[in-house]
Structure 1
Amino acid sequence: MKNLKNIRTVLFAALTLGITSMASAQTSGDIQNYDQKFKLGFGINGGLPTDNAYDWALGGDVRLQYDLSKRTSVTLTTGFTNLFMGDDVDDLGFIPAKAGFKAFIWEDQFYVLGEVGAGFAVTNGYNDTTLLWAPGIGYAGKNIDISVRYEDYHKFETNQVALRVAYGFEL
Protein backbone atom coordinates (compact mmCIF):
# COMPACT_ATOMS: atom_id res chain seq x y z
CA MET A 1 0.00 0.00 0.00
CA LYS A 2 2.89 2.33 0.76
CA ASN A 3 4.29 1.78 -2.77
CA LEU A 4 0.93 2.71 -4.27
CA LYS A 5 0.90 5.99 -2.31
CA ASN A 6 4.47 6.71 -3.48
CA ILE A 7 3.51 6.07 -7.11
CA ARG A 8 0.49 8.36 -6.81
CA THR A 9 2.60 11.10 -5.17
CA VAL A 10 5.28 10.96 -7.88
CA LEU A 11 2.73 11.00 -10.73
CA PHE A 12 0.80 13.88 -9.15
CA ALA A 13 4.03 15.86 -8.70
CA ALA A 14 5.03 15.21 -12.33
CA LEU A 15 1.63 16.32 -13.59
CA THR A 16 1.69 19.46 -11.44
CA LEU A 17 5.23 20.32 -12.52
CA GLY A 18 4.33 19.81 -16.17
CA ILE A 19 1.26 22.01 -16.03
CA THR A 20 3.03 24.83 -14.17
CA SER A 21 6.04 24.67 -16.52
CA MET A 22 3.77 24.79 -19.52
CA ALA A 23 1.74 27.67 -18.11
CA SER A 24 4.75 29.82 -17.28
CA ALA A 25 6.49 29.20 -20.61
CA GLN A 26 3.51 30.05 -22.79
CA THR A 27 2.67 33.56 -23.95
CA SER A 28 -0.64 34.84 -25.25
CA GLY A 29 0.90 35.21 -28.71
CA ASP A 30 1.53 31.44 -28.85
CA ILE A 31 -2.13 30.69 -28.22
CA GLN A 32 -3.47 33.23 -30.73
CA ASN A 33 -1.24 32.02 -33.59
CA TYR A 34 -1.87 28.30 -33.15
CA ASP A 35 -4.25 26.51 -35.52
CA GLN A 36 -6.45 24.37 -33.26
CA LYS A 37 -7.19 20.92 -34.68
CA PHE A 38 -8.49 17.42 -34.00
CA LYS A 39 -6.30 14.30 -34.03
CA LEU A 40 -7.31 10.64 -33.97
CA GLY A 41 -5.14 7.80 -32.67
CA PHE A 42 -5.42 4.01 -32.59
CA GLY A 43 -3.42 2.26 -29.86
CA ILE A 44 -2.44 -1.14 -28.53
CA ASN A 45 -2.03 -1.45 -24.75
CA GLY A 46 -0.26 -4.04 -22.64
CA GLY A 47 -0.20 -3.93 -18.87
CA LEU A 48 1.20 -5.58 -15.77
CA PRO A 49 -0.49 -5.49 -12.37
CA THR A 50 0.93 -3.72 -9.36
CA ASP A 51 -0.87 -6.26 -7.17
CA ASN A 52 -1.73 -9.97 -7.50
CA ALA A 53 -5.32 -9.60 -8.67
CA TYR A 54 -4.58 -10.63 -12.26
CA ASP A 55 -1.70 -11.79 -14.43
CA TRP A 56 -1.61 -9.23 -17.28
CA ALA A 57 -3.77 -7.03 -19.50
CA LEU A 58 -4.13 -6.47 -23.24
CA GLY A 59 -6.33 -4.00 -25.06
CA GLY A 60 -6.87 -1.58 -27.87
CA ASP A 61 -8.14 1.98 -27.88
CA VAL A 62 -9.25 4.91 -29.96
CA ARG A 63 -8.34 8.41 -28.76
CA LEU A 64 -9.80 11.67 -30.07
CA GLN A 65 -7.64 14.67 -29.22
CA TYR A 66 -8.45 18.35 -29.60
CA ASP A 67 -5.49 20.71 -29.42
CA LEU A 68 -6.31 23.79 -27.37
CA SER A 69 -2.86 25.25 -28.00
CA LYS A 70 0.53 24.03 -29.18
CA ARG A 71 1.19 22.57 -25.72
CA THR A 72 -2.25 21.59 -24.36
CA SER A 73 -4.97 19.21 -25.51
CA VAL A 74 -8.12 17.55 -24.24
CA THR A 75 -8.76 13.88 -24.99
CA LEU A 76 -11.58 11.35 -25.16
CA THR A 77 -10.53 7.68 -25.10
CA THR A 78 -12.46 4.41 -25.45
CA GLY A 79 -11.70 0.86 -26.55
CA PHE A 80 -11.54 -2.58 -24.96
CA THR A 81 -9.25 -4.00 -22.26
CA ASN A 82 -9.07 -7.61 -21.06
CA LEU A 83 -7.66 -8.46 -17.64
CA PHE A 84 -6.29 -12.01 -17.68
CA MET A 85 -6.80 -13.57 -14.25
CA GLY A 86 -5.31 -17.08 -14.38
CA ASP A 87 -6.78 -20.55 -14.64
CA ASP A 88 -9.33 -20.57 -11.83
CA VAL A 89 -11.02 -17.21 -12.43
CA ASP A 90 -12.80 -15.89 -15.53
CA ASP A 91 -11.04 -13.04 -17.33
CA LEU A 92 -12.56 -9.58 -17.03
CA GLY A 93 -13.12 -7.59 -20.22
CA PHE A 94 -14.30 -4.01 -20.05
CA ILE A 95 -14.86 -0.91 -22.14
CA PRO A 96 -13.17 2.22 -20.77
CA ALA A 97 -14.62 5.67 -21.40
CA LYS A 98 -12.19 8.42 -20.30
CA ALA A 99 -11.77 12.16 -20.66
CA GLY A 100 -8.35 13.69 -20.17
CA PHE A 101 -5.95 16.59 -20.35
CA LYS A 102 -2.55 16.42 -22.06
CA ALA A 103 0.22 18.97 -21.48
CA PHE A 104 3.46 18.96 -23.45
CA ILE A 105 6.31 19.80 -21.12
CA TRP A 106 9.50 19.36 -23.13
CA GLU A 107 10.31 20.11 -26.79
CA ASP A 108 6.64 19.80 -27.80
CA GLN A 109 7.05 16.00 -27.88
CA PHE A 110 7.16 14.80 -24.26
CA TYR A 111 3.94 15.10 -22.31
CA VAL A 112 2.03 14.33 -19.14
CA LEU A 113 -1.55 13.11 -19.38
CA GLY A 114 -4.29 12.68 -16.82
CA GLU A 115 -7.50 10.80 -17.61
CA VAL A 116 -10.59 9.96 -15.57
CA GLY A 117 -13.71 8.03 -16.49
CA ALA A 118 -15.53 4.73 -16.15
CA GLY A 119 -14.88 1.11 -17.04
CA PHE A 120 -17.91 -0.97 -18.06
CA ALA A 121 -17.48 -4.75 -17.56
CA VAL A 122 -18.85 -6.67 -20.56
CA THR A 123 -17.55 -10.28 -20.44
CA ASN A 124 -17.93 -13.52 -18.48
CA GLY A 125 -20.92 -12.42 -16.42
CA TYR A 126 -19.21 -9.46 -14.79
CA ASN A 127 -21.72 -6.65 -14.42
CA ASP A 128 -19.83 -3.89 -12.59
CA THR A 129 -18.94 -0.38 -13.60
CA THR A 130 -15.85 1.13 -12.03
CA LEU A 131 -14.33 4.55 -11.63
CA LEU A 132 -10.96 4.60 -13.37
CA TRP A 133 -8.23 7.18 -13.39
CA ALA A 134 -4.95 7.12 -15.25
CA PRO A 135 -2.01 9.54 -14.99
CA GLY A 136 0.79 8.97 -17.48
CA ILE A 137 3.80 10.25 -19.37
CA GLY A 138 4.61 9.89 -23.04
CA TYR A 139 6.30 10.85 -26.28
CA ALA A 140 4.40 11.97 -29.37
CA GLY A 141 6.01 12.34 -32.79
CA LYS A 142 4.24 13.24 -36.02
CA ASN A 143 2.29 9.95 -36.17
CA ILE A 144 3.64 7.77 -33.33
CA ASP A 145 2.59 8.08 -29.68
CA ILE A 146 4.26 5.98 -26.97
CA SER A 147 3.21 6.33 -23.35
CA VAL A 148 3.33 4.66 -19.96
CA ARG A 149 0.51 5.10 -17.47
CA TYR A 150 -0.68 3.91 -14.12
CA GLU A 151 -4.34 2.92 -14.32
CA ASP A 152 -6.54 2.27 -11.28
CA TYR A 153 -9.84 0.37 -11.45
CA HIS A 154 -11.52 1.13 -8.12
CA LYS A 155 -14.46 -1.29 -8.13
CA PHE A 156 -12.52 -4.04 -9.95
CA GLU A 157 -10.09 -3.85 -6.99
CA THR A 158 -6.96 -3.79 -9.12
CA ASN A 159 -4.64 -1.53 -11.09
CA GLN A 160 -1.87 -1.76 -13.64
CA VAL A 161 1.11 -0.08 -15.24
CA ALA A 162 0.48 -0.08 -18.99
CA LEU A 163 2.43 0.66 -22.15
CA ARG A 164 0.52 2.21 -25.07
CA VAL A 165 1.85 2.31 -28.63
CA ALA A 166 -0.36 4.22 -31.04
CA TYR A 167 -0.58 5.57 -34.57
CA GLY A 168 -2.27 8.96 -34.88
CA PHE A 169 -3.08 11.54 -37.53
CA GLU A 170 -4.76 14.92 -37.96
CA LEU A 171 -8.39 15.03 -39.04
Structure 2
Amino acid sequence: MKTITKIFTMAAAVALFATTSLNAQTMMETDPNPAPKGMGFKVGVGINGGVFRDKSPMDYAYGADLKLQWDLTPYVAVTASGGYTKLIAKDNAVDADFIPAKGGVKVFPIKRMYLATEAGAGIAIQDGAKTNFIYSGGLGYEFGGFDAGVRYEGYVNDSASTTYFRKTGQYAVRLAYNFKL
Protein backbone atom coordinates (compact mmCIF):
# COMPACT_ATOMS: atom_id res chain seq x y z
CA MET A 1 0.00 0.00 0.00
CA LYS A 2 2.80 2.35 0.72
CA THR A 3 4.16 1.93 -2.80
CA ILE A 4 0.81 2.79 -4.38
CA THR A 5 0.56 5.94 -2.22
CA LYS A 6 4.06 7.02 -3.28
CA ILE A 7 3.30 6.44 -6.98
CA PHE A 8 -0.03 8.25 -6.70
CA THR A 9 1.61 11.25 -4.93
CA MET A 10 4.39 11.45 -7.54
CA ALA A 11 1.87 11.23 -10.41
CA ALA A 12 -0.23 14.00 -8.88
CA ALA A 13 2.85 16.20 -8.46
CA VAL A 14 3.98 15.62 -12.07
CA ALA A 15 0.45 16.34 -13.34
CA LEU A 16 0.28 19.52 -11.26
CA PHE A 17 3.63 20.83 -12.52
CA ALA A 18 2.93 19.78 -16.13
CA THR A 19 -0.38 21.66 -16.28
CA THR A 20 0.81 24.78 -14.46
CA SER A 21 2.77 27.36 -16.40
CA LEU A 22 5.65 28.79 -14.45
CA ASN A 23 6.69 32.42 -14.88
CA ALA A 24 9.84 33.88 -13.43
CA GLN A 25 9.42 37.10 -11.56
CA THR A 26 11.01 40.09 -13.20
CA MET A 27 12.61 42.72 -11.07
CA MET A 28 12.26 46.29 -12.20
CA GLU A 29 15.32 48.40 -11.72
CA THR A 30 14.62 51.67 -9.98
CA ASP A 31 17.06 54.50 -9.88
CA PRO A 32 17.45 55.91 -6.36
CA ASN A 33 18.20 59.30 -7.87
CA PRO A 34 15.70 61.04 -10.17
CA ALA A 35 18.39 63.07 -11.93
CA PRO A 36 18.56 62.42 -15.65
CA LYS A 37 20.93 59.78 -16.92
CA GLY A 38 23.96 61.35 -18.51
CA MET A 39 24.19 65.00 -19.38
CA GLY A 40 21.06 67.14 -19.13
CA PHE A 41 20.22 70.80 -18.68
CA LYS A 42 17.75 72.59 -16.41
CA VAL A 43 16.91 76.26 -16.01
CA GLY A 44 15.54 77.27 -12.63
CA VAL A 45 13.64 80.47 -11.84
CA GLY A 46 13.68 81.25 -8.14
CA ILE A 47 12.96 83.71 -5.38
CA ASN A 48 14.88 83.94 -2.13
CA GLY A 49 14.86 85.70 1.18
CA GLY A 50 17.15 85.70 4.17
CA VAL A 51 17.98 87.08 7.57
CA PHE A 52 21.30 88.16 9.06
CA ARG A 53 22.86 87.51 12.45
CA ASP A 54 22.33 90.07 15.23
CA LYS A 55 25.89 91.46 14.96
CA SER A 56 25.54 92.12 11.22
CA PRO A 57 25.00 95.66 9.88
CA MET A 58 22.33 94.16 7.60
CA ASP A 59 18.81 93.21 8.68
CA TYR A 60 17.32 91.07 5.90
CA ALA A 61 17.62 90.38 2.17
CA TYR A 62 15.45 89.39 -0.77
CA GLY A 63 15.95 88.68 -4.44
CA ALA A 64 15.32 86.60 -7.52
CA ASP A 65 17.58 84.47 -9.67
CA LEU A 66 17.95 82.41 -12.80
CA LYS A 67 20.03 79.25 -12.40
CA LEU A 68 21.40 76.99 -15.13
CA GLN A 69 22.09 73.41 -14.02
CA TRP A 70 24.12 71.00 -16.13
CA ASP A 71 23.76 67.41 -14.89
CA LEU A 72 27.10 65.69 -15.54
CA THR A 73 25.95 62.40 -13.95
CA PRO A 74 22.84 61.42 -11.99
CA TYR A 75 24.72 62.44 -8.84
CA VAL A 76 26.74 65.56 -9.78
CA ALA A 77 25.71 68.81 -11.48
CA VAL A 78 27.49 72.08 -12.29
CA THR A 79 25.53 75.32 -11.78
CA ALA A 80 25.75 78.94 -12.92
CA SER A 81 23.41 81.64 -11.66
CA GLY A 82 22.64 85.33 -11.88
CA GLY A 83 19.88 87.59 -10.62
CA TYR A 84 19.18 90.50 -8.29
CA THR A 85 19.68 90.79 -4.53
CA LYS A 86 18.86 93.64 -2.15
CA LEU A 87 20.39 93.75 1.33
CA ILE A 88 18.42 95.95 3.73
CA ALA A 89 20.64 97.68 6.29
CA LYS A 90 19.92 98.34 9.97
CA ASP A 91 19.94 101.80 11.60
CA ASN A 92 19.38 103.89 8.45
CA ALA A 93 22.63 102.72 6.86
CA VAL A 94 22.94 102.39 3.09
CA ASP A 95 21.19 99.38 1.54
CA ALA A 96 23.18 97.32 -0.94
CA ASP A 97 21.80 96.29 -4.34
CA PHE A 98 23.80 93.97 -6.54
CA ILE A 99 23.69 91.38 -9.28
CA PRO A 100 25.11 88.08 -8.04
CA ALA A 101 27.00 86.01 -10.64
CA LYS A 102 27.98 82.64 -9.18
CA GLY A 103 29.16 79.22 -10.25
CA GLY A 104 28.98 76.03 -8.23
CA VAL A 105 28.46 72.32 -7.80
CA LYS A 106 25.46 70.24 -6.65
CA VAL A 107 25.93 66.71 -5.31
CA PHE A 108 22.96 64.34 -4.86
CA PRO A 109 24.01 61.89 -2.09
CA ILE A 110 20.46 60.59 -1.53
CA LYS A 111 17.26 60.48 -3.55
CA ARG A 112 16.32 64.02 -4.70
CA MET A 113 18.30 65.67 -1.86
CA TYR A 114 21.35 67.72 -2.73
CA LEU A 115 24.29 69.51 -1.16
CA ALA A 116 25.36 72.65 -3.01
CA THR A 117 28.24 75.09 -2.91
CA GLU A 118 28.75 78.27 -4.94
CA ALA A 119 31.18 81.17 -5.23
CA GLY A 120 31.21 84.30 -7.34
CA ALA A 121 30.86 88.06 -7.45
CA GLY A 122 28.16 90.50 -6.39
CA ILE A 123 28.31 93.25 -9.03
CA ALA A 124 27.19 96.47 -7.32
CA ILE A 125 24.48 98.64 -8.89
CA GLN A 126 25.01 101.91 -6.94
CA ASP A 127 27.56 104.56 -8.03
CA GLY A 128 30.87 104.18 -6.19
CA ALA A 129 30.02 100.74 -4.89
CA LYS A 130 32.54 97.93 -5.33
CA THR A 131 32.05 94.28 -6.21
CA ASN A 132 31.51 91.81 -3.35
CA PHE A 133 32.95 88.31 -3.14
CA ILE A 134 30.09 85.85 -2.48
CA TYR A 135 30.35 82.29 -1.21
CA SER A 136 27.59 79.92 -0.14
CA GLY A 137 26.84 76.39 0.97
CA GLY A 138 23.59 74.65 1.67
CA LEU A 139 21.22 71.80 1.03
CA GLY A 140 17.95 71.32 -0.77
CA TYR A 141 15.35 68.99 -2.16
CA GLU A 142 14.03 68.65 -5.72
CA PHE A 143 10.51 67.25 -6.22
CA GLY A 144 8.64 67.35 -9.50
CA GLY A 145 9.97 70.51 -11.10
CA PHE A 146 10.16 72.31 -7.76
CA ASP A 147 13.34 73.05 -5.83
CA ALA A 148 13.44 74.15 -2.18
CA GLY A 149 16.71 74.88 -0.44
CA VAL A 150 18.38 76.57 2.51
CA ARG A 151 21.87 78.03 2.53
CA TYR A 152 24.35 80.27 4.25
CA GLU A 153 25.61 83.01 1.94
CA GLY A 154 28.60 85.08 2.95
CA TYR A 155 29.70 88.49 1.60
CA VAL A 156 33.15 90.06 1.64
CA ASN A 157 33.10 93.74 0.64
CA ASP A 158 35.83 96.19 -0.43
CA SER A 159 36.42 98.89 2.23
CA ALA A 160 36.65 101.55 -0.53
CA SER A 161 33.02 100.90 -1.52
CA THR A 162 30.33 103.53 -0.88
CA THR A 163 28.09 100.70 0.32
CA TYR A 164 30.80 99.18 2.51
CA PHE A 165 29.76 96.77 5.23
CA ARG A 166 32.02 94.46 7.16
CA LYS A 167 32.17 90.79 6.28
CA THR A 168 28.73 89.33 6.94
CA GLY A 169 26.36 86.61 5.77
CA GLN A 170 22.73 85.64 5.60
CA TYR A 171 20.74 82.48 6.26
CA ALA A 172 18.52 82.20 3.21
CA VAL A 173 15.68 80.14 1.76
CA ARG A 174 15.26 79.64 -2.00
CA LEU A 175 12.09 78.43 -3.73
CA ALA A 176 12.32 77.71 -7.44
CA TYR A 177 10.89 75.87 -10.40
CA ASN A 178 13.21 74.00 -12.80
CA PHE A 179 12.50 73.67 -16.51
CA LYS A 180 14.22 70.81 -18.36
CA LEU A 181 15.85 71.76 -21.65
The answer to whether the superposition gives a TM-score over 0.5 is yes
Q: What are the within-5 Å matches in structure 2 for residues 57-136 of structure 1? A: 57-86=61-90, 88-107=92-111, 109-123=112-126, 125-136=127-138
Q: Find the aligned partners of 2:101 and 2:172 in 1 and give their Cα distance.
A: 16
Give 1:36 shift: 1.2
Which of the pair has more CA radius of gyration? Answer: 2
Q: Find the aligned partners of 1:97 and 1:61 in 2 and give their Cα distance.
A: 10
Q: Which runs of 5+ in 2 are unaligned?
A: 1-32, 158-164
Q: Find the aligned partners of 2:128 and 2:137 in 1 and give their Cα distance.
A: 26
Q: What are the within-5 Å matches in structure 2 for residues 1-171 of structure 1? A: 34-50=37-53, 51-86=55-90, 88-107=92-111, 109-123=112-126, 125-155=127-157, 156=165, 157-171=167-181
CA displacement 1:83-125 (0-9 Å, x = unmatched): 0114522211111110000000111x100000011111113x3
> What TM-score, normalized by structure 2, do the two folds share?
0.72
Q: Which amino acid aligns with 2:117?
A: G
Answer yes or no: is the 8 Å Cα contact 1:92–1:126 preserved in 2.
no
Answer yes or no: is the 8 Å Cα contact 1:47–1:162 preserved in 2.
yes
Give 1:126 shift: 4.8
Q: Find the aligned partners of 1:139 and 1:89 in 2 and give their Cα distance.
A: 36
The aligned residue for residue 7 of structure 2 is: none
State the SS of the aligned residue for 2:56.
Answer: coil
The aligned residue for residue 24 of structure 2 is: none
Percent pairwise identity: 41
Runs of 4+ in 1 over 2 A off after TM superposition: none
Q: Find the aligned partners of 1:58 and 1:64 in 2 and give their Cα distance.
A: 20
Q: Which amino acid aligns with 1:132?
A: I
Q: Which runs of 5+ in 1 are unaligned?
A: 1-29
**Count of paired positions:** 138
Greater fraction helix: 1
